Amino acid sequence: MSRPNSAKIFPVDNYDLDSFAKVAAGFGQEGFGYVVTPNADHLIRWHLEESFRRYYSDASYILLDSRFLAMLFRSMNGERSSVCPGSDLTERLLSGVISPEDRVVLIGAEPCQARRLEARYGLRNLHHFNPPQGFANDRAAIEECLAFIERQSPFRFCLLAVGTPRQEMLAQALHTRGIARGLAFCVGASVNFLSGKEKRAPSWMRRLGFEWLYRLMSQPTRLGHRYLVRGPRVFTLVPQTRLAMRQPGPPGVR
């Protein structure tokens, strides 16, 4: 299918869950990198917000999170990409990559959720910090959060669970400051699912690309505007977007 000459180039690292889990396992603590997992809402932000494009431009890895978005690119543009859902990746890291003594940093979530993760996955070196609501508009609160992460460096992984675009903002700031060592993940609601605070969509809905619909039905007041008002823009933006598949490389290289 032809695309307009003005189509924007959206880079994606063509990993599925199994292949990227191996990359994450071998990343190491000599440098810093961060992972973003775009879904349909992220693609809309990427088109409309210059700051969001900057967050993505500095990301070490860009993994397509959404089967729904992958289906749109395939049906509307004839483009195919592997999918690596962020929540599946977070669970794989916790259950199959992280050892009990690995230093893991969790930003966001409630203290009870951190304790549940410790108990469920046998984590003995988890360092948790939950910034206050509205912290992204408070320079001192942002600095406190960044300094907390940097004090835990080097870490195996840092899970940024404060929602988009706040988590991407923190990740890029850590990259720019150049102090932290380890791999950070912008994990969104993954911790809510894994700690039992929210129930995730059934596997059959996830396979069909309808996880967004389950979330909408579960939280219509909070997510209604995102999915029903803002979300339909993706149908006009996908034809204006060309995927640029970055070839998988060795751990830590970007």
User: Residues of the chain with pLDDT > 90: what percent?
Assistant: 81
Q: Does residue 71 or residue 249 have the better pLDDT?
A: 71
- In this predicted structure, the answer to whether residue 251 has a pLDDT above a threshold of 60 is no
Is the Cβ–Cβ distance between 52 and 45 less than 8 Å? yes
Structure tokens, 63: 């993994």
Alpha helices in the chain (DSSP H): 17-25, 40-48, 50-57, 67-72, 86-92, 111-121, 139-151, 166-177, 190-194, 203-207, 211-218, 220-224, 234-237
pLDDT at 250: 45
Q: What is the pTM of this model?
A: 0.91
* pLDDT of 254: 42
DSSP H or E stretch at residue 129: strand 126-129
CA distance 108 to 129: 6
